[in-house]
Structure 1
Amino acid sequence: MDLNTVAEIRDARRPAPWRPGDAWLGGGTYLFSEPQPHLRRLVDLSRMGWTPAQRHPDGSLELAATCTIAQLSGCARDLPALAAPLFEQCCRAFLASFKIWNTATVGGNLCNGLPAGPMISLTAALDGTCLLLAQDGSGRRLKVADFITGAGRKDLAEGELLRSVTLPARALSCRTAFRQVSLYGLGRSAALVIGTLDPVDHSLTVTVTAATVRPVRLWFPLPPTAAALRAAIEGAVTEGEWFDDIHGLPEWRRHMALRLAEEIRRELTEEERR
């Protein structure tokens, strides 16, 4: 879609004062998908030259905000980590064409803050931490689960930039389980639940997304019973936080999230007993 109110595109490598009507341009799959009448200038990040995915000496994995879905998928194939299959599962949850895969970015998906954003699901489940850069050059770090505060809402100040998301080595070493459901065979995720089991201390995390307006990540020092897991989810998600749109009613999303979470609990705890 043409953005006929945009009068200028600025290269992000050339610093300039942020002004009203500015927006960061990564892949642009959302920006150009619908009218944006409030925008006057796009600040293009595509030439920043950030390494899409970088493994650090401590074993953590840093994903640049400009890392495309195609690049993430390719990186995961060579990632020597137990959690590597989860990357491809979340990439496939886009149900998008190769054109979108080669354009859409990890950072864009997070900054849209949509409940069904699969990069939110992936990075929240793997205990990801966002690096946010302000216009004055200062930075701050924030967990992905705290960065997304509601449907389309995130803890991002005016002009602030999501630079990268770092996934810790401990999370990458976990066994994972993935469940996703939608109303239609090729529909948007209505509930997406991810479980991780730590091989060191046997703790379990269950992360609920798509069914809720924000990612809900629950940590259990030891795998809980079915009743304890259900109670924890219902205690963490208020009635108004079950998402409601054309892709699923809140009651159905709640039911499916609880069902998928229990499937994940059984899968990971049964593997643990073997």
Structure 2
Amino acid sequence: MLVSEYDDVIRLEPTDHPDRRQGAFTESWMIGNAVNGGVVMAAGLTALRQHLSTDPQEVAEHIDPVVLSAYFMTASAPGPFTATTELMRAGRRLTTGQVSVWQDVDGEPTERMRAIASFGNLDGADTYRQSTPPDLPPPDECVSAQQAPPDFLRHNHFLDRVDIRLDPATAGWAVGKPSMRGLIQGWLRLRDPREPDTTMLALALDAFPPVAFDLGLYGWTPTLEFTGHIRRRPAPGWLRIAINTENVGGGLMEEDARIWDSAGSLVAQSRQLCGVRPA
């Protein structure tokens, strides 16, 4: 049986404390000098879901993350981490809890991320109105992240785990010709056969290159705060993603992301506040 590298990186082991679980990040999920923030959020959501599922107050069918608000205090590094969790409220439709991800730095516990998330049940979620997915060329006609220069790929192992195909109309920044529209869109799936689920959508919402690249701003854009909404359980297959920004100033930028599944249903959306630090 094939074990997905994604499942392996978010795997958690129990400890003697019911509100603590341990895991380990690896270099395989790094972007530049840090572990991808989407991986950190997915691991945190996994820890919180495990906690809520064992709490006697938990409503058993609340298995899907519905809303997540996360703050990133410091960049996560490869190595062991501890996730501490807390039940905040158990309700009939939603159950809410808090999770923090910690790593040891020079003998001191250092908080990497803190999040509040609500879980519900998205089985058979209906749709009254949704935004229209972008019209994209098929994945085979899009620009693969694997076409990036070898030196870039050597420092971004995350791209060996996630298959990203960008719409050529929004990939000009990669050859020094950004469209200046503040838009990047394309396709995403894991490189192994593992299909997306509601927790994996948190990773997908933070997987694309920073939309600042399409404005000619090629520096570091660290996430300060992230709010994500999971709307439906995704169908198997490619995810269609569009990210854009309309406001950049004061060293800050918002980045809005939307994801549609292979059936054309909107399954997730997010807004994150990023720092803008031009190269």
Tell me the TM-score normalised to structure 2 length: 0.26
Structure with more of its chain in strand, by fraction: 2
Tell me the TM-score normalised to structure 1 length: 0.27
Structure with more of its chain in helix, by fraction: 1
Higher relative contact order (CA 8 A, sep 6+): 2
